[in-house]
Chain A
Amino acid sequence: MIDVQDREIIEALQSGLPLVPAPYAAVAKTLGMDEDALLNRLAELKSRGVIRRIAAAPNHYKLGMTANGMTVWDVDDSQIAELGTQIGALPFVTHCYERPRVLPDWPYNLFAMVHGSDRDEVEEKCAEITAILGDACRAKDILYSTRILKKTGLRLKTKG
């Protein structure tokens, strides 16, 4: 859970950290806080997992990673924990989750995001996943992203 001050800090930072030599001092000033107090709060939010990391989100498309495949798999439930761990450990898989099936439309329960410079590269990587899953996989699909429609990250409502 987060308190009022955490919330103010999160609101101040959700659009990003200023690109200046002393970014935390700049943010602390807007919040009427002391820089050290802000750094301590941020360290605490990190230790609690509220902040996962402070980092850049790159635009894969602009980096030439133009093929982004959400690969989806229908994997035997009794083997998903073990196989999901193996798929998640592959160097080219950036996110890997078990999610519920929505039958009959959606039989897939394992989602693995695969990026590549083109669709052929994504498909080559997919073949590696297919080999690992073997008979435990009954069906699969690849959903390529064709457009980023929004990318803002978490936004708290400004009030209430």
Chain B
Amino acid sequence: MTVDVTDRAILNRMQDDLPLTAHPFASVAQELGINEDELLSRLARMKEQRIITRFGPFFDAAAMGGAFCLCAMAVPSDEFETVLTKVNAHAEVAHNYERTHRLNMWFVLATETPEGIEAAADAIERETGIEVLRFPKLQEFFIGFRVAA
């Protein structure tokens, strides 16, 4: 699996907003100096290879009246896979990372109502018997989406 110069240019551009027009890929392809077919086939290939994990709208649960909350758990290593299966089974778990700390499982809950956060976190605690620490954002300083490819 290789990412060439054209792929990198596409990745950098596609982390910015896609135009809301009938043929958005044609205009992005033009910006990049490639044709639309090539852009679409490269995007499809990068998605297939999981270089792009997702392509589409990024929703803000808070703007829909819902909420996000970062959560963490200290999961014993011999229970890790079992707990992971239980945690990931919740549709509210939007992403989940293993990290180097006693608190080794960090996930984001995204729910349609603020009450949904507590309900989901409480359910995970009940099912796993492990405390779910909750770190809701108090203040957001910046979101720089881009990673230079």
Contacts and interface: CB of A to CB of B under 8 A. Distances in A.
Interface of A: 1-2, 10, 13-17, 19-25, 35, 39, 42-43, 46, 48-60, 62-63, 65, 68, 70, 80-81, 84-85, 87-89, 91, 93-100, 102, 105-106, 109, 111, 115, 141, 143-157
B40 interface: yes
A147 B63 contact: no
Interface of A is mostly: mixed
A70 B99 CA distance: 9
B136 A100 contact: yes
Contact of A53 (B25, B58, B98, B138): B58
B50 A62 contact: yes
B112 to A, nearest CB: 7
Contacts of A16: 54-56
B138 A91 contact: no
Interface of B: 1, 3, 11, 14-18, 20-26, 36, 40, 43-44, 47, 49-61, 63-65, 70, 72, 84, 87-88, 91, 93-101, 103, 105-107, 110, 112, 133-147, 149
B59 A54 contact: no
B141 A156 contact: no
Contacts of B64: 1-2, 10, 50
A49 B55 contact: no
Contacts of B70: 97, 99, 111
B51, B61, B107 — which one has the most chain A CB atoms within 10 A of its CB? B51
Contact of B97 (A1, A81, A91, A148): A148
A58 B139 contact: no
Contacts of A157: 91, 112
Given A14-B57, A35-B22, 11 more contacts: A1-B64, A49-B60, A51-B58, A56-B15, A58-B15, A62-B1, A70-B99, A97-B138, A111-B135, A152-B54, A154-B61
B5 to A, nearest CB: 13
A98 B56 contact: no
Contact of B138 (A93, A99, A143): A99
B145 A94 contact: yes
A78 B51 CA distance: 41
A105 to B, nearest CB: 7
A100 to B, nearest CB: 6
B22 A39 contact: yes
Given A94-B144, A143-B106, A22 B23 contact: yes
Given A54-B17, A106-B133, A155-B91, A60 B140 contact: no
A143 B99 contact: yes
A56 B25 CA distance: 13
A123 B86 CA distance: 34
B59 A102 contact: no
